[in-house]
């Protein structure tokens, strides 16, 4: 993550006991858990990090027994806890058994980004061995995959500034879906900058004519009306949206029936500034009308120079 000046955190209103907010924060070493922990602290959360796995059930007891004192809690669970999936399952089970449903956030990043972050900070990877940092990262991904698969929120921090990480976390954590709904996140991105790691479904919209080659549209984003009109005026854009809506009408109820709680759909064009943004916004409008669940939209390349 790149650093930049931070806006002042909003005052954290203290939830009532019935609104107790417990977040379990997990993810790859170097993925941004330290930065995220500080963001949670700024919003008034009590943050617990690197607690031995054996003490997690006791922490669950404490959190559940004093809901006013621990109205907002963020608990970090990762490979330092030993068998992280078992530790998280134990923590989650203990909380849910006491009527508290925690939300699990998983942070990750591309391998090259993680290697660079460890090189810059000179921190030791918790699974470091003679095989090198890349091998440690691969092993950590393998161990944490069960947590990632079951997380409520997955965020790729590879190209996020601290402000963008903050926006991603709290826009998604602020959406609460009913048991019969699916929390859907739409991401527009540019293929030239890499695929979003957190995407469940990826759609390539580079077959549409590119506004980049229209001089008066080049510097305008897909959020502007001229670019939107240019893209949607293409027959292929309408056909693509119709086919995608038909697929989601079929797939989303099936995901919900299967017990899936979140779905991340990524739409990519070359630079992530025109076509993918238009398609993501159009799809978001339709999904909200369908009321499948809360919909969040993130345009990954919007502020890229």
In contact, 66 and 22? CB cutoff 8 Å = no
Kindly state the average pLDDT of the residues 232-245: 98
Residues contacting residue 87 through CB under 8 Å, at least 6 positions apart: 53, 56, 77, 81
Asked if the structure places residue 223 within a domain, the reply is yes
Residues 84 and 64 in one domain: yes
Q: What's the domain range around 28? A: 19-173
Q: Taking Cα atoms as reference points, which of 294, 24, 297 lies closest to residue 177?
A: 294
Question: What digits encode the pLDDT tens for the residues 25-45?
Answer: 999 999 999 999 999 998 889
Work out the percent of the chain whose per-residue pLDDT is above 90.
62
Phi-psi region of 201 (alpha: psi -120 to 50; beta: other; left: phi over 0): beta
Number of domains forming the structure of the chain: 2
Length of the chain: 305
Residues 189 and 210 in one domain: yes
Domain boundary, last residue among 146, 173, 200: 173
Residues 103 and 123 in one domain: yes
Looking at residue 20, the DSSP 8-state letter turns out to be: -
Domain boundary, last residue among 145, 173, 201: 173
Asked if the structure places residue 4 within a domain, the reply is no
Residues 218 and 164 in one domain: no
The predicted structure's pLDDT at residue 176:
57
Question: What digits encode the pLDDT tens for the residues 269-294?
Answer: 999 999 999 999 999 999 999 989 88
The predicted structure's pLDDT at residue 183:
86
Residues 29 and 71 in one domain: yes
- Which of the four pLDDT bands, split at 50, 70 and 90, describes residue 11? very low
Residues 152 and 204 in one domain: no
Phi-psi region of 82 (alpha: psi -120 to 50; beta: other; left: phi over 0): left
Helix (H, G, I), strand (E, B) or coil at 133: helix
Residues contacting residue 233 through CB under 8 Å, at least 6 positions apart: none
What tokens does 18 get?
Answer: 């019935």
Residues 187 and 284 in one domain: yes
Residues 27 and 141 in one domain: yes
Residues 194 and 159 in one domain: no
Asked if the structure places residue 14 within a domain, the reply is no
Domain boundary, last residue among 154, 173, 192: 173
Residues 42 and 167 in one domain: yes
Q: Taking Cα atoms as reference points, which of 36, 243, 272 lies closest to residue 155?
A: 36
Residues 130 and 209 in one domain: no
Asked if the structure places residue 10 within a domain, the reply is no
- Which of the four pLDDT bands, split at 50, 70 and 90, describes residue 4? very low
Q: For the ranges 137-146, 168-177, 238-247, which has the lowest average pLDDT?
A: 168-177
Kindly state the average pLDDT of the residues 181-196: 93
Q: What is the CATH number of the domain that holds 45?
A: 3.40.50.300
Asked if the structure places residue 5 within a domain, the reply is no
The predicted structure's pLDDT at residue 3:
46
**Higher-confidence position of 240 and 61:** 240
Asked if the structure places residue 266 within a domain, the reply is yes
Residues 276 and 212 in one domain: yes
């Amino acid at each position: 993550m790149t650093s930049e000046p931070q806006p002042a955190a909003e005052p954290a209103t203290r939830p009532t006991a019935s609104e107790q907010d417990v977040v379990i924060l997990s993810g790859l070493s170097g993925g941004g858990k330290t930065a995220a922990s500080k963001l949670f602290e700024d919003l008034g959360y009590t943050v617990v990090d690197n607690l031995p796995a054996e003490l997690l059930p006791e922490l669950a007891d404490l959190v559940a027994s004093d809901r006013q004192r621990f109205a907002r809690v963020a608990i970090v669970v990762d490979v330092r806890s030993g068998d992280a999936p078992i530790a998280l399952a134990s923590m989650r089970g203990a909380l849910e058994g006491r009527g508290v449903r925690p939300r699990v956030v998983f942070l990750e990043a591309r391998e090259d980004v993680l290697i660079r972050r460890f090189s810059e900070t000179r921190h030791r990877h918790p699974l470091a061995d003679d095989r090198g940092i890349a091998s440690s990262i691969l092993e950590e991904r393998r161990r944490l995959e069960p947590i990632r698969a079951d997380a409520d929120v997955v965020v790729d921090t590879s190209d996020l500034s601290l402000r963008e990480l903050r926006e991603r976390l709290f826009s998604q954590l602020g959406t609460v879906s009913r048991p019969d709904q699916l929390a859907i996140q739409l991401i527009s991105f540019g293929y030239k900058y890499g695929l979003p790691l957190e995407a469940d479904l990826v759609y390539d919209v580079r077959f549409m004519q590119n506004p980049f080659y229209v001089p008066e549209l080049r510097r305008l984003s897909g959020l502007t009306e001229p670019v939107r009109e240019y893209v949607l005026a293409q027959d292929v854009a309408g056909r693509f949206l119709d086919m995608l809506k038909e697929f989601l009408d079929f797939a989303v109820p099936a995901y919900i029936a299967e017990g899936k709680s979140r779905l991340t759909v990524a739409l990519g064009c070359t630079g992530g500034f025109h076509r993918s943004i238009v398609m993501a916004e159009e799809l978001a409008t339709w999904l909200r009308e369908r009321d499948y669940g809360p919909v969040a939209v993130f345009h990954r390349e919007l502020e890229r120079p």
